[in-house]
Amino acid sequence: MAVALVVLVAANRAPRVQTWLGAGVFLLYLQWMVVSFSYGKVDHDRFAFLVALAVLPTAGRAALRDMTPSQSAGWALRMVQVGVVSTYFLAAVAKVRFGGWAWVNSTTIARAVIRRGTMFADPLLQMPWTLQLSQWFIVTLEFISPALLFVRPKVQQYAVAFLVSFHVVTFIMIRIIFMPHVVCLAAFLPLERILNRPVK
């Protein structure tokens, strides 16, 4: 059902109908998340994606080559950005709240490497200080993530490249990738300039 609605929304016809169809996609995805993650499993990688589904129907009709400024589209993108940053920041809050500040010196990542590590991560078990250092790095990164909302666009682009690299390295090391979240990082990029760059 949701896939059929997505196809109709992507057709870019009848803006008012699209708004309602987009809201339907959001509600169906929310319902799936509530059912899928109601039994003790909480994946935070889909939060920004859920925010995107909620706000994108409010952006109005748009085309790939349309460069017309739009307050509603800007607001929708900003909300996705806030969703991305909230995912990082609240993940750090949860670590401290439930694991305490001792989390940074725990064996959480070591356990992840033992359970699902690849040949690239396994050697780090012989140097446990590197895994603890990475936990300090992760918590620090998550706590300072709100700065991403206030820095210059060029700095945002470098930060997004770094964050995407971080998620790729995480996948290479322990086979965990937060793909919906990584997709939402694109809200910080000037994709409209890339799409509208003149062809030489």
DSSP alpha helices (H): ranges in 117-152?
A: 128-144
Total structural domains within the chain: 1
How far, in Å, CA of 121 to CA of 72, rounded?
A: 44
Range of the domain at 97: 89-195
Is 81 contained in some domain?
A: no
Is 172 contained in some domain?
A: yes
Is 145 contained in some domain?
A: yes
pLDDT tens track for 129-142:
999 999 999 999 99
Chain-centroid distance, C-alpha 57: 19
Q: How many residues belong to the chain? A: 200
Rg (CA), the chain: 19
Q: Which residues contact 178 (CB under 8 A, 6 or more apart)?
A: 44, 45, 167
Is 43 contained in some domain?
A: no
Is 11 contained in some domain?
A: no
Is 112 contained in some domain?
A: yes
Most confident of 7-11, 43-47, 64-68, 195-199: 43-47
| Greater model confidence, 40 or 173 | 173
Q: What is the pLDDT of residue 29?
A: 81
DSSP alpha helices (H): ranges in 37-70?
A: 47-55
pTM to 2 decimal places: 0.82
pLDDT tens track for 184-197:
999 999 887 776 66
Considering only CA atoms, which of 36, 45, 139 is closest in space to residue 94? 139
Burial of 193 (0-12, 13-18, 19+ CB in 10 A): exposed
